[in-house]
Amino acid sequence: MMLSKTAVAIFNSAVKSVSAVEIIPQSIILKNDVLSIKSASYSLKKYKRVLVVGAGKASAQMAVALESVLGKFITSGVVITKYGHSAVSKKIKILEAGHPVPDENTLKHSREVLEITESAGENDLVICLISGGGSSLFEVLPDAITLDQLQNLNTVLLKCGADISEINTLRKKISLVKGGGLLNSIFPAECLTLIISDVLGDKLQDIASGPTVFQEDALHNEHVLNIIQKYNLKHYLEPEVHVKLLSPTQKSAENSKHYKERVKNFIIANNQTALNSAYSKAVELGFDSSIVLSNFHGEARDVAKLIVMKIKDVTEKQNKKICLLFGGESTVNVKGNGKGGRNMELALAALISLQDFKKPFVFLSAGTDGNDGTTDAAGALISSSSLAVLKKTELDPQEYLNNNDSYRFFEQIGGLLKTGPTGTNVMDVIIFLSE
């Protein structure tokens, strides 16, 4: 198998391991009408209704997988996913909306979710299906904030270089459903949330902005103000948004002291799950494999330098077939007017740093959701062949990097990795192979 095809096979193995079709049947067990997940169990016969709601890039596939396990017990439901990520379901309605910037359908469909949750009573069970992308796809706004203002906030945050925790902190401040706010409409029903994590450290409050996670102390104005100042955001935000961001906020459900016992959140897959699968596949294919980093973060081009440094350090000492794995999520402070995404930008920066690498190699950086930025690529793959092709052109990779134009660079030399929507989302995976 060619080295590049091997890298793609390893990546596909990682993605498959965190797909809802694989994960949900492994995570929940239905026996004698009792649903069990980790330390919790639910006797489904005791509930008047089992309602399903959710949001995220993986929510459609999660809905279909949940139906395959709980079928007859599900009364109805609504989940919201990204355009192009839908699936065919039986009882759970699957709707599509804008990502990474919310649109009119985000607000419209989110109201349909609330119609379900607000109807829930004390004898009902609400199962929430949450995954990365939910912050954009699920939103109910206070009267003071408009869709245009929400879109501007999201666009500014996505370009400023802020990490997902910082972005979601500000998103929560202008939302009625983020930061535990959804629990207000689920109360007093029992709530079980199944989560596919797309954030470092699997912080529940950050995954899709934690709609079912109690966060009474998570939104202090001092923290919000620090983020605004850190990225010089005041000049890019409308006055109404700036005022709302710095106003007191109470998100979590009323009666939270006793209601907490009726709310359980479980992470069923994360980036580590994907890395472990990639590791096993690489070993199966005969590579001396290791997971070098499972929490990379920061500016994409800086992460690329760090990873290449680690690659060179390891490969100088070994002559075996090597597979080095890295997991995490970088950011991009967009200053140019090019087309790209964090994985393609990282791969381009790595290509620049690997121009003096002597051994045959492949370096793949891709998002497990199949989308890098707003492009149709999941990321990019570079290799010794990429260096050879580059030498025959007059392209200056640094010029493309400076303009945040990685997509157009790889369009010309080859290397765009296009998987299509994968139906899952656990951040990014980097695979380096050398022989």
44 and 126 part of one domain: yes
158 in a domain, yes or no? no
Please tell me the distance from the alpha carbon of residue 238 to that of residue 213, in angstroms, as a whole number.
29
Q: What is the pLDDT of residue 417?
A: 98
164 in a domain, yes or no? no
Instruction: Label the pairing between strands 416-417 and 322-331.
Output: unpaired
127 in a domain, yes or no? yes
Q: Count how many domains the chain has.
A: 2
32 and 114 part of one domain: yes
93 and 111 part of one domain: yes
> What letter does residue 47 receive in the DSSP assignment?
-
87 and 48 part of one domain: yes
256 and 354 part of one domain: no
Beta strands in 234-385 (DSSP E): 263-269, 288-299, 322-331, 361-367, 379-383
| H/E segment holding residue 104 | helix 104-118
234 in a domain, yes or no? no
202 and 299 part of one domain: no
Q: What is the pLDDT of residue 128?
A: 98
Rg (CA), the chain: 22
For the domain that residue 322 is a member of, what is the CATH number?
3.40.1480.10
CA of 83: how far to CAs of 58, 86, 97, 420, in Å? 12, 7, 6, 12
Quick one: how far is CA 400 from the chain centroid?
26
CB 393 within 8 A of CB 239: no
Low-confidence residues in the chain, pLDDT < 50: 253
Task: Classify 97 as helix, strand or coil.
Answer: strand
262 and 311 part of one domain: no
Q: What is the pLDDT of residue 131?
A: 97
Centre a 10 Å sphere on the Cβ of residue 117 and count the other Cβ atoms it contains: 24
Q: What is the pLDDT of residue 256?
A: 62
371 and 329 part of one domain: yes
370 and 300 part of one domain: yes
Q: Which residues pair with 331 in a beta bridge?
A: 299
259 and 289 part of one domain: no
Cis check for the bond before 100: say yes or no (omega within 30 of 0).
yes
Please tell me the distance from the alpha carbon of residue 276 to that of residue 330, in angstroms, as a whole number.
20
96 in a domain, yes or no? yes
Q: Is 411 left (phi over 0), alpha (psi -120 to 50) or beta?
A: alpha
425 in a domain, yes or no? yes
Which residue do the tokens 């949450």 mark? 130
393 and 325 part of one domain: yes
Q: What is the pLDDT of residue 318?
A: 76
Q: Which domain holds residue 287?
A: 272-434
Alpha carbon dihedral 199, 205, 206, 209, in 10-degree steps, equals 140
88 in a domain, yes or no? yes
Q: What is the pLDDT of residue 164?
A: 86
Q: 0.75 exceeded by the pTM? A: yes
For the domain that residue 206 is a member of, what is the CATH number?
3.40.50.10180
CB 139 within 8 A of CB 177: yes
Alpha carbon dihedral 23, 24, 26, 28, in 10-degree steps, equals 150
